[in-house]
Structure 1
């Protein structure tokens, strides 16, 4: 799918808009103090393509402040599904589940969210829920588009151990899942970041840029709310009235 002029403008302004989200976080912090807190359990946060744990520092610090034992992936820069990544991630999830006495929640940004969904299929007994942030899993198993994210992924393909055509990820998972998308995403097509809705599968729209999702106030509240859900009583997300303007309405064709 060709990347339209409007989408190219969004891509060019990604860094500026990501910085704006950081500024909004400072202003919104007093409101975020009332974010939900749930049962402490292990949380794994996975970075996006070409990013490292440094890119998820704000998100991990936020979740740690809410009382969750949270870790990054500690595999350096994310260059795609290399053999090291595909071998080590299931082991890491199992270790965390054993260490914390139960399944872990996985929060993945962009490509990290695709990993998270694959992990829910590979080791469902060790995964409590999946939260993907701007993750174009709808393209998995299909032809690539012309987005900046797809082009960057293609440049790393020689390092990757998993063929692109390996299975779609847009259908239901065996665990609760929340897919976060944004029409203002300048890196990937927001439509590919949505899943088929179901009793434990939802899509939530935000107004953030792709690069800014990890420190956007609406996303931080959403992640806190999702992690506070009990394993037996998961319910779809309902934004609080004071923050409702930070979330996007469902598309007309949803």
Structure 2
């Protein structure tokens, strides 16, 4: 008997009532408190090249060497993405001998009151299972979660690697803050988690950033000395952090340096 093909999981958008919708639209349309730098429009439009990625992927080959220093890596996806978006990167980490673990929180629709608590539970679970410290790998908003997790549980974290994460400067130094406010229902500078996102976690913290990022301003993702230990420039797009050859190799190199 033939089996029905499995359909890909579709995003489940946050529910909102009529009044809530009006408030979210107002948040998306509110004026900027002050002008801030952000990637040029041409860079932002370049992000849509990721739509052709499934076609290009079969023709790309990435040579991955076996790791001499295998790590347990908890991967945190970016805003409006699911763990499945990170599967290609995770597969290469595992080819090298690392263990890539999902965050298990479904779609990342922004910070909620219990986000950090749920992530802490997940980190504790992975840490206890393997009885060792974990590397946190966060893409974009996932990198902010990674930094906060490391502040809350430095005893469980050996290293934080962020990819295109806006942890420095204005939270509006990007091309997606209005969309973020519409989806989450809160201002980008007033998240439900009270914290100083630019404060460096008490573990080694490495920021991967790119001047070709069309979503996040490069300086916001690179940060300044004191906000991270090292900043490494790549040449991928923002979406490319999850699949580009140079991003994957950069992450693998950082895992060897744990």
For these two proteins, the number of residue pairs brought into alignment is 222
Deviates more, 1:147-156 or 1:53-62: 147-156
User: d(CA) in 1 for partners of 2:204 and 2:51?
Assistant: 28
SS of structure 1 residue aligned to 2:176: helix
Runs (5+) with no aligned partner, structure 1: 231-254
Structure-1 separation of matches of 2:54 and 2:150:
30
1:154 aligns with 2:181: yes
Task: Name the SS for the 1:132 alignment partner.
Answer: strand
Aligned to 1:205: 233
Return closer, same or farther for 1:54/1:150 CA change in 2, 3 Å cut-off.
same
C-alpha distance in structure 1 between counterparts of 2:42 and 2:102, whole Å: 32
What are the within-5 Å matches in structure 2 for residues 46-61 of structure 1? 46-61=76-91
For residue 103 of structure 1, report the CA deviation from its aligned partner. 0.8
One of 145, 163, 179 as aligned partner of 2:190: 163
User: What TM-score does the superposition give when structure 2 sets the normalisation length?
Assistant: 0.76
| Conserved? CA contact 1:25–1:215, under 8 Å | no
Runs of 4+ in 1 over 3 A off after TM superposition: 1-4, 17-28, 162-167
2:165 alignment partner, SS class: coil
Find the aligned partners of 2:54 and 2:225 in 1 and give their Cα distance: 28
Q: 2:93 aligns with which of 45, 50, 63?
A: 63
Cα distance change, pair 172–146 in 1 and its aligned pair in 2 (3 A): closer
CA change 1:176–1:26 in 2 (3 A) is farther
Given the alignment of the two structures, is residue 172 of structure 1 paired with residue 188 of structure 2, yes or no? Answer: no
Query: Does the CA contact (< 8 Å) of 1:107 and 1:130 recur in 2?
Result: yes
SS of residue in 2 equivalent to 1:44: strand
The structural deviation recorded for 1:22 is 8.1
Aligned alpha-carbon RMSD (Å): 2.8
